[in-house]
Amino acid sequence: MECVVEVEGAEKRYPGGVAAVNNVSLTAGRGIHVFLGPNGSGKSTLLSMIAGVLKPSAGRITVCGKDLWGPRGLDARKHIGYAPQDPPLRPLLTGYENLVRHALFRGLSLGEARRRARELLELVGLAGAADRKVGEYSGGMKRRLTVAIALVGDPDVVVLDEPSTGLDPTARRELWDIVVRLREEGRVVLLATHYADEAEALASKVYIMHRGVVAAQGTVAELKERYTPVSVILVEAKEAPPNPEEARSSLMLPGVEDVVVEGPVFRVYAARPNVVAPRVLEAMVGYGVEVRELRILEPSLEDVYFKVTGTTLRGEGVGG
Amino acid sequence: MAAKGPITAIVLGGLKELVRDKTSLFWILVFPVIMVLISGGLWANPNPRPTPVGVYVDDTSSGPFNATLVTMAMEETGMFEIKHYDSLQSMLDDIAEDGSPPLGLYFPQGFAANASSGMPASIVVYRVNVSELWVEVDQSKLLGFLSGMEDRVRLTILNYALPHAPPGYRGYLEALADPLKTRVEEVNTAREVSQAVIAGYMAISMVVVEALFIGLNVGASMIHEERESGGLRALLSSPVPSWAILAGYTLTTMVYIALAGLASVAAGFLIGAEYRGLTPGILAASAVMVVLAGLFTMGLGLLLAPLARSAKGANGLATAIAFPLMFLGGIWIPAWMLPEPFRTFAHYFPLSRLSDALKLMIVYGGTPLEALSMTPPVLVVAIIAVYAVGTITYRRMLSMMVEKA
């Protein structure tokens, strides 16, 4: 039977009534489910609840049919592998010993734990550093080891909270390969990130997180089609305009859907960019802006995020 | 799920971390050895320091019983270290300046002539005006010596006088010279205070001191350490029941205490401790008592945990509490030496009782039954209650973290 994660009306409220997660419902089956949002959007809180670390204030979460916070909560946790944002590593133990430790927590015998630890070190590319103390690992190595820890119990559901934060591009690619492999193995992967490109590269389904709610969800193609049926004319000026709102208004020409001004960068949304672009250039020069570069871009998930939430993935609200 | 795996993981990890962490190694293996070697070596020293005594002889009279004879006799006992002065003032200046020597003997004019001829002879003892225990002890030593000397003088004078006394008066004169015929006889006892006993006492005390420090520190800091290292999140998302985590840490604590205990006992051997009656029964009873000590201190540590916000803070708090308890709880310093109200506190303090019971068996050769009589059921119940309340506190903290993580 396929393992599914079901979240029904999950909420997390802190004293004072602040809702970190507010009435979230979703069903996640096989594939990579990416929760996209900046810091504070509620994605890590939601994943902490799904991982069984944080108790919801309201709602219900089941994993493979078992209520995570009910009497069979420990049974439900057998199906979960969790890589938290802060690596759960003991710095005085080696990478291998850390993995064996977590394998024993998952109920493996000592022999099985040792075998599994070797396998996973190979998988995440740390076999050569297996016997080095984790305190001597780089940030990237710690991240990879944390992913290995999430996999140590051979879980049906893998929860990865910002696994690629701080990784260099090569390490990120390697990590993505591992995540894709998890999908191919038929697991449910829940991944939180604030990188739009990561979501675009990996996601079977994207959940746009904003202020504790899932503001939109769907495949990457569905979200783009729904929220950004227009292309983006990206104009980079030499300097930021003194009055962004006025600059924005001056570019709201016929055929222009929207304009976002972020410092010296203007994003002009238009259905027919080839027609609109010369007019935009003309208007900018007329407004007194010195243009350094103009490019026509296909919309990205970042644009989708902005269209849905009115803020960027860095958490900034911008003009427009 | 079976708890064997998580418990094994915590204990194995704890041991490996211990071996690699120099600070923990110091406190668990080196510190007890140093403490036993230094303290045991000092207290169990078979040649205690002689008491420094200043001597100024102003007497120019002569006689067979003179100041030289007295000071030579003092030196021969090995109990005194004599320093001669040229003037009374210089001796008093030294005593007044820093209490070294703490005592001075002044032989005034006519001492030899009077003492040798049966006349009262004056002698003045000066002591530094501080109420330190050691000065009291030194003064008692000196006065005791002079008292013995006085008896000898009286008997010598009596021996001169007796031939001239009427027969009916001899007994009376003898009684006058030595009215109390006091003698000291040694009685063999299993609890003799020998060097070996003192060394053993220190070593076993150190086992309990280590139980105090280790239990309090691990109990107070374990949840904070797991939270700070991120391990708590991984544990909460795993199928490990909270009691298995606690059991793992409790067992790790016991292993640490056992290692520290072995180090203390080995250090005791180095300074001449003799451990009596190490029979299987006594070893088993000792193990039970050490486990009880560990449960009690771990329980106390768990109760302290909510008062701290970080592992460092928890360790600081645990040490701040353990340190005075080590001295005032009747573990390191015997309860009878403590002032009230600490003596009463030590009487009821479980670690003091367990420590005494352990020493009774291992140092003084008592039986497990005798030791058990020092650990009545109410004490065992109290220890288990402290651990149980500590466990509840731990679970409540864990629940709070699950609410707020």
CA A139, CA B270: separation in Å to the nearest integer? 48
Confidence of residue A320 (pLDDT cuts 50, 70, 90): very low
| CATH class of the structural domain A230-298 | alpha beta
Statement: residue A20 has pLDDT above 70: yes
A77–B9 CB contact, under 8 Å: no
Contacts of A261 (CB under 8 A, 6+ apart): A241, A244, A245, A247, A248, A267, A318, A319, A320
Q: What is the pLDDT of residue B45?
A: 61
CA A235, CA B211: separation in Å to the nearest integer? 70
Cα dihedral across residues B93, B95, B101, B105: positive or negative:
positive
Confidence of residue B108 (pLDDT cuts 50, 70, 90): very high
In the numeric block, which tokens belong to residue B132? 């330190």
In the numeric block, which tokens belong to residue A169? 């591009």
Over residues A204-223, the mean pLDDT reads: 92
- The rounded Cα B403 to chain-centroid distance in angstroms is 47
Mean of pLDDT over chain B: 87
Statement: residue A312 has pLDDT above 90: no
Q: What is the pLDDT of residue B120?
A: 86
Homologous superfamily of A5-224 in CATH?
P-loop containing nucleotide triphosphate hydrolases (3.40.50.300)
Which residue among B9, B230, B241 sits closest to A101, beta carbon to beta carbon?
Answer: B9
Among A253, A261, A259, A307, smallest CA distance to A283 is for A253
A93–B229 CB contact, under 8 Å: no
Cα dihedral across residues A27, A31, A37, A41: positive or negative:
positive
User: DSSP letters along A36-102, please?
Assistant: E--TTSSHHHHHHHHHTSS--SEEEEEETTEETTSTTHHHHHTTEEEE-SS----TTSBHHHHHHHH
Q: Which residues of A touch B (CB under 8 A)?
A: 14, 48, 51-55, 74-75, 77-78, 80, 82, 84, 86-93, 97, 100-102, 104-110, 113, 133, 149, 153, 159
Query: Which residues in chain B have their CB less than 8 angstroms from residue A117's CB?
Result: none
Q: What is the pLDDT of residue B189?
A: 58
Confidence of residue B172 (pLDDT cuts 50, 70, 90): confident
CA B355, CA B371: separation in Å to the nearest integer? 10
Over residues B120-132, the mean pLDDT reads: 87
Q: What is the pLDDT of residues A114-155, one digit of tens each?
A: 999 999 999 998 999 999 999 999 888 999 999 999 999 999
Query: Which residues in chain B have their CB less than 8 angstroms from residue A105's CB?
Result: 5-6, 9, 234-235, 238, 240
Which of A18-27, B31-40, B147-156, B302-311 is predicted least confidently?
B147-156
Neighbouring C-alpha atoms within 13 Å toward the C-beta of A13? 11
* CB contact burial B278-312 (16+ within 10 A = b; e otherwise): eeeebeebbebbbbbbbbbbbbbbbbbbeebeebe
Give how far A107 is from chain B: nearest CA, Å. 5
Which residue ranges form the domains of chain B, and what is each CATH number?
Answer: 4-43+192-404 (no CATH), 51-177 (3.40.1710.10)
Q: What is the share, in percent, of chain B residues with pLDDT greater than 90?
A: 39
Statement: residue A44 has pLDDT above 80: yes
B239–A77 CB contact, under 8 Å: yes
Contacts of B324 (CB under 8 A, 6+ apart): none
Higher-confidence residue of B91 and B374: namely B91
In the numeric block, which tokens belong to residue B149? 């000397």
B80: part of which helix (H) or strand (E)?
strand B80-84
Give how far B134 is from chain A: nearest CA, Å. 48
CA A47, CA A55: separation in Å to the nearest integer? 11
Among A231, A236, A242, A253, smallest CA distance to A292 is for A236
| Pairing mode of beta strands A18-28, A5-14 | antiparallel
Residue spans of the domains in chain A: they are 5-224, 230-298
Q: What is the pLDDT of residue B333?
A: 83
In the numeric block, which tokens belong to residue B188? 């063999």
The neighbouring-strand residues paired with A217 are: A207
In the numeric block, which tokens belong to residue A1? 């039977």
Are B4 and B241 in contact by the 8 Å Cβ rule? The answer is no
Are B201 and A17 in contact by the 8 Å Cβ rule? The answer is no
Q: Nearest residue of A to residue B11 by CA position? A: A101
Q: What is the pLDDT of residue B191?
A: 52
Contacts of B347 (CB under 8 A, 6+ apart): B330, B335
If you search the block for the tokens 């225990």, which residue do you land on?
B133
Q: What is the pLDDT of residue A24?
A: 93
Q: What is the pLDDT of residue A139?
A: 86
B5–A108 CB contact, under 8 Å: yes
Are B372 and B292 in contact by the 8 Å Cβ rule? The answer is no
In the numeric block, which tokens belong to residue B330? 């009747």
Q: What are the CA-CA distances from residue B102 to residues A233, B93, B137 (Å)?
A: 96, 11, 11
